[in-house]
Each structure stands twice: as C-alpha cells, then as structure tokens.
Amino acid sequence: MADRPRIKLPKEAKQGEIIQIKTLVSHLMESGQRKDAQGKTIPRKIINKFTCEFNGKAVFACALEPAISANPYIQFDARVDEAGTFKFAWTDDDGTVITAEEKITLKA
Amino acid sequence: MGAINRRQAFLLGGGLVALTLMPMTADAEPSNDAAELIKKFTGGKEAASGKISLDLPEIAENGNTVPLSLTVDSPMTADNYVKEVLFVADGNPNGGVATLMFSPLSGKAEASIRIRLAQTQNVIAVAKMSDGSLFTERKTVKVTIGGCGG
C-alpha cells in the first residue's frame, strides 16, 4: 500500500475555470465478503472516505462502501478561483490516512 | 445411488464455484438494505425523477469493476447546488455503494467511480440539492461475472 496515489490535474488554469481531477490509489478494498482457503471470512479493509480540499475549503468528498472496486478511481471537477493547493486524503478502515497535495497556478 | 454419486462428484468438482456463489445468491433473493438506505437519506420524502443522468454499461462483463459516471443538472452556484448523491445497488450483499458530497467549489456536479456488482441488478442514485429537493434515477446492469467473493 506504500504506492503513492496517482493524481491527474492541470498545472495551471484560468480564473473561474472548471478543471477535471482524476485520482487513483492502490488499495485492495477487501470487501469482507470473501473467504480464505480455510473458509474463514477475510475481514473488511477498505478506504471508507475520500476528501478533497482546496486552500482549506471542501471541494468534494466521498463515503465509500465495500461495493467500490479495488484501487479506487475517483474522478470529479473543481472550480479554480485562485492559485493554491489541493489536498487529497484517503482514510482506511484501520485509521491510516493516505494524503497527497497538488499545486495549481493561475494562467496569466 | 448413481445419481447421488454423480451429484457428489459434481459438488466436489465445482466446490469452489459453489462456495463462492452460494452465499451471494442467498443474500440477494430477499432484497438487501438498499431501500432502507434510501429512506434514511431522503428522510422518507419522495424523490422526483429527472436531473440525474447515469452512465453505466448495459452489460458488465466483469462485475469487479463497473464504470459509473454521474451528471446532475445543476448550476452549482453558492445558493443552488447538489449537496449529496447516494448510490445504492439492490442486488449486492450490502446495498450501500457510495455517497458523494459536492460543494459550490465543485463547479460541476459530475463524478466517475468504479463499482462492484455481485449480479444483475439495479443501481439507484438519489441526489439531494441545496434547497432540500430530491431527485432519483436508476439503471439496470446485466452482470456476466459477479464482483464479490471469488
């Protein structure tokens, strides 16, 4: 799980432009439905929450259930009014949080 | 006697398949908690149809990753925007799929995710607007290979 999340967004945008952000994080998303070779249920372990903030303001968030595919891919949009930093966070069932940051500047 | 032997042989051979499929079909027949989840989300209010467009394949070959795209018709301004969108699937072991939370900063009420579907079933989206109005849309997806267990 040590893989860095992959995030795709433009480096710069015009003021007020709506940009598309694509994110992908490596995670098994163990559903809690599968059984191992001994017939025991493999405990659930998923990313249950994803958030995206821009300069401290909430842009998009997502509560995830076991019905989300492995290596969760989330694509959404954001309006850029100013230059700043996007902060992304993925919360695991075990409490660990994977974070990432991406900067964006305004086109002159 | 012969029939039983043949059945036993079949069970032995197809044991793995049977093991993974049985709990799924057992759970799927009486519908899951999808309806309750919607009720909780809407507070019991009726959701109107329209505004939402769902992009889902008609036939999903692999239920493990089914691409799901959502667009809600909304200006996404500070006082008129899509607040939350609930996704449920009525034939999965658990009805919940995801809840998306938008903000005026989202710019567009659009998102794509990839979901797991255990079998052929309906995917239902319910959107809650900033003024409290509710909209819903559903789509049936035929699943060739289930996306849980195995």
ipTM: 0.92
Subunit contact B114:A54, Cβ cutoff 8 A: no
pTM exceeds 0.90, yes or no: no
> How do A47-54 and A57-64 pair as beta strands?
antiparallel
Residue owning tokens 């799927």 = B28
CATH code of the domain covering residue B36: 2.60.40.2470
Cβ neighbours, 10 Å, residue A15:
11
Contacts of residue A102, Cβ cutoff 8 Å, sequence gap at least 6: A7, A9, A85, A86, A88
Residue A39 has pLDDT above 70, yes or no: yes
Cα separation values, B61 from A74, B19, B29, B149, Å: 21, 21, 21, 16
User: Mind listing the pLDDT tens digit for each residue in B71-86?
Assistant: 999 999 999 999 999 9
Instruction: Sketch out chain A's domains with CATH numbers.
Output: 6-106 (2.60.40.10)
Q: Which of A19, A31, A60 sits opposite B102 (nearest CB)?
A: A60
- From chain B, pick out residues whose CB is under 8 angstroms from the CB of A63: 98-99, 101
Structure tokens at B44: 């019991």
Tell me if B41 is assigned to some domain: yes
Interface test with A, best of B81, B103, B121 (most A CBs within 10 A): B103
Tell me if B67 is assigned to some domain: yes
Q: Give the whole-angstrom CA distance, residue B139 versus residue B88.
A: 11
| Nearest alpha-carbon partner for B99 in A94, A49, A72, A73 | A49
Question: Helix axis angle, B15-28 relative to B2-13, nearest 10°?
Answer: 90
Interface test with B, best of A17, A50, A65, A71 (most B CBs within 10 A): A65
Subunit contact B19:A31, Cβ cutoff 8 A: no
User: Mind listing the pLDDT tens digit for each residue in B90-148?
Assistant: 999 999 999 999 999 999 999 999 999 999 999 999 999 999 999 999 999 999 877 66
* Structural domain harbouring B99: 26-143
Tell me if B124 is assigned to some domain: yes
How many distinct structural domains can be found in chain B?
1
